[in-house]
Structure 1
Amino acid sequence: MRRNRVLSCLLVGFVLMCAVGAQLTTTFYDTSCPALQSIVRRLVLQAIVTETRMAASLLRMHFHDCFVNGCDASLLLDDTATVTGEKTAAPNNNSVRGFDVIDTIKTAVENNCSKTVSCADIVAIAARDSVLFSGGPSWSVLLGRRDATTVNGTAPNFVIPSPVDNLTEIIRKFADVGLSITDVVSLSGGHTIGRARCATFNNRLFDFNSSGSPDPTLESTMLATLQVTCPPSGDNSTLVSLDRRSRDWFDNAYFKNLQSNNGLLLSDQELYSSSNAQTKALVDTYSASPSTFSTDFVNSMIKMGNISPLTGTAGEIRTNCRVVNS
């Protein structure tokens, strides 16, 4: 049902002005929890100092949550004896991480302003701060989301873009939640930080599309390195930087990688190697203009964060992000 609300907004051409999303505001907690932003920022920084990779993980968490029934923190709910949630679905299992960081932030927030701030809003702020502490842009996060009381354990398998999806499929999945081709390319730029397991790209290294040969769009020096790092009989959980130029720094090097066929994931390289003139032009633009990338990335993050939020009396404010309130 919530997905249908987004599509209805699209029909009139105003996703951000949809009645549901319009209830979000940057000042939502200014009175009820004025210390919220500083609490989240302090603990996100602490987590990144402890493990630099956590910045990318918290950014990915927001993305994966929003694509399934909207930005409602349903991803954070643990499985129960009777309900299998989203955490253990194939696109999230061994991919989305940082739940313990959100737990730490939630505890600190509850100690400061009990039963006030949603887990969904904490995830959105943490994603912003993760980009900021990685050298990327900042923005004012729209707030006022509430938390889901239900999960859809099968939906992630169909709606979350996959590293092996072709560009047509990725564009369709973004369009289904109200996001444009510009959003596809700018949000993909989030791969300027983070890691990927060999399992997510080893289909490109030896027998691409059952051809008996590697993916011809993968640059030869990078291919040789990856074949050593991710051999056929190796550990598919081995981590490789998504951006070899500046793996932990949020910049536009990701797009330069695509121009030289150094995109790690098939879904990344397809932005430039496919016949889609619009995505290729955007890659060229962002490669030449870091400021344009930053502007478009911020706009797309705000737009993504506005996918079908629960507001008003819908959902609840969970006191523990892992379980619904009793």
Structure 2
Amino acid sequence: MTIDRRTCLAGSAAALLSATGCRSEPHVAVPAPVFSPPRPDGPYAIGRSGLVTSGAGAVIVFYPAQGQPSASTHPAPVMSPGHAAQLTRRFGGPVAQALAEAHGHAIPDAPMAKGAWPLLVFAPGWYLTGQDYRVPCEDIASHGYVVAALSDLPDAGSHPPYAKTAEAILSVLADKSLRSHSPVGVFGHSVGGAAAVLAASRNPAIRAVVNLDGDYADDALAARPKQPLLHVRSITPGEPANSIARSERDWAAVSQASAAPHLVQRADFRHLNFLDAALLSGHVPQDRRRKAFGEVDPAKGLAITANLVVAFFDEHLKTS
């Protein structure tokens, strides 16, 4: 189903009152900004395909593709009206429209490049989709990885679906169409990041795990993965001391059994700097922008994220 360009436009600007006659100015529609994805810096072109699994539903697969890397962009999968509405509530209509119409560098259904490629399964944040992280996923794939991104998290009602998301991650790893790719790692953002840690604790075949700014709670707080573990954490100015202490205590507990625990803290990141939407943060209403995005340059922040993930998995999946 296509999305009418007008459905995601922000409401017309409020009428301005003149100082003398209180005359209303004509309504002006706010134009959508243009989404310009940075070019991945890996040595491989990128392909993209879709996959439907029995345990995780739809999955977006990014992979090294035949041919040379190119600056050309291609239409992304059509965004559902429901998710477009979710992004509108979060970022405003113009940004949601730009994200819905955004292109990416992955070539739809391109032939996979010859080679043995490690598999990474990615889980998005709560009320987000794999499509919201195309920029980092494409960048990571361009460095020689098959990245299988969950399209949606499982429905768990009003509670973050840590356990169900971990089960979905493990079901993707077991899918027959992906079994030929090894070794395997898992990563995710927010709830998806904590769920990736939980999945690693349940499956020793997973060689390494990355959590991008996910808090540990419920089943995820009880996870004790033995694999190498990278946690990238944003730091919010003015965060209460008890919140900082809780995060430090939770990290110490979850990472205690890890063969190689690494904690990277970024004071210039906020929780949503890991999303493609960060590239349009300047167009997000200011009250929402301050809470969601940090001071890091948006494109640089996404590159930092991809570089951290690639370097970590290169060390633990590609070296003996």
- TM-score over 0.5 for the pair: no
Using the size of structure 1 for normalisation, the TM-score is 0.29
* The structure with more radius of gyration: 2
**RCO higher in structure (CA 8 A, sep ≥6):** 1
Whose helix fraction is larger, Structure 1's or Structure 2's? 1
Whose strand fraction is larger, Structure 1's or Structure 2's? 2
